[in-house]
Structure 1
Amino acid sequence: MVVEIREATDADLPGIAAIWNPIIRDSVATFTTAEKSIDDLRAWRAERLANDHPILVARDAEGITGFAVYFQFRGGPGYAHTMELTIHLAKRARGQGTGRALMAALEEVARARGVHSLWGGCSGENPGAVAFHERCGFTRVATLPQVGRKYGRWFDLVLVQKILA
């Protein structure tokens, strides 16, 4: 059950690490292999804020249950209104509406900042992530074969997109 969704503060970074690091370590939901220290996350948050890309967190009575953020899809001014998103949930929050609430809040923030298009990149071995994005109104636009590598294996990347305008 989501109690609140708000912009993350430095005090939320341990909660974000507690969600993100097991996903990095134990799954192919991300192809990232380096776990995040609090210092890493502090620098990551500062960079997001410097680019006016806030990190949102969902909380319940027990603490942080998820986070969502977007960042420019590709470099250069021609892509200034196209963002890629990341959204991750604590295991206890999955299937409880937290992901949809975070996505709705992230879209609202993005629209208010002039974002035209949101993209997500989902591991081909994570069909639940693709289905989640589709339930949130995203369209599957491409599968990039064997572009991610983790655990000594190649993985496909499924790209999904939602036009916000």
Structure 2
Amino acid sequence: MPDVSIRPARDGDAQAIAAIYAWHVANGTATFDTEAPDTGAWAAKIADFAARGFPFLAAEREGGIVAYAYAARFRDRAAYAHTCEDSIYVAHEARGGGIGSVLLPALIEAARASGFQQMIAVIGGGEPASVALHARCGFVHAGRMRNVGSKFGRLLDTVYMQRDLREDQNP
């Protein structure tokens, strides 16, 4: 287990979260964003999630944010009220160190405590590390949309995975 602590994100985390996401926007295909939101947008998102009772977690190591994850309603329509979509990003320099394997289970529990019953992972680019992480945390393959994104001159798939939060599926 990596030496990290998981806690709810705070306003003061917005700058570090913005930097983590900006790296993924500029260098990766896990997000289809092509422009990164600024620190103010992240601070507003953290506050909005807190107000709505949605989990937004930060992974902290040695006083710095090394990853974050959040869950929000999968779609805004009332029928989706018990289904959430997760997002998880690890700082580039911290990837591969097991942080995701600590952070995602914490997010699953926080989402369950928030009243969500299903969690959907929408994995941009079908990123193998993200697919593997979600599978280790009890997610199952739910579909693939082919060539729906375009980034860095490549057509990219989106992989959907799903986890039932009503069952204890921790591996």
TM-score (norm 2): 0.90
Deviations 1:25-61 (A, max 9, x none): 1111110112121111112222222221131000111
User: Are residue 22 (structure 1) and residue 11 (structure 2) matched?
Assistant: no
Alignment of 1:1-165 (within 5 A): 1-165=2-166
Using the TM superposition, name which of 46-55 and 126-135 deviates more: 46-55
User: Given the superposition, is the C-alpha separation of residues 42 and 62 from structure 1 closer, same or farther in structure 2, using an over 3 Å criterion?
Assistant: closer
Gap runs ≥5 in structure 1: none
Q: What count of residue pairs does the alignment treat as equivalent?
A: 165
Structure 1 residue 123 displacement after superposition: 2.5
Aligned equivalents of 1:63, 1:112: Cα separation in 2: 26
Aligned equivalents of 2:5, 2:35: Cα separation in 1: 29
Using the TM superposition, name which of 14-23 and 142-151 deviates more: 142-151
Aligned equivalents of 1:102, 1:132: Cα separation in 2: 10
Q: Calculate the aligned-residue CA RMSD, in Å.
A: 1.4
Aligned equivalents of 1:124, 1:87: Cα separation in 2: 14
Aligned equivalents of 1:137, 1:34: Cα separation in 2: 32
Asked whether the 8 Å contact 1:56–1:106 carries over to 2, the reply is yes
Deviations 1:94-126 (A, max 9, x none): 222210111111111111121110011112351
Asked whether the 8 Å contact 2:122–2:158 carries over to 1, the reply is yes
Gap runs ≥5 in structure 2: 167-171
What is the percentage of aligned positions where both structures have the same residue?
A: 38
Structure 1 residue 144 displacement after superposition: 0.7
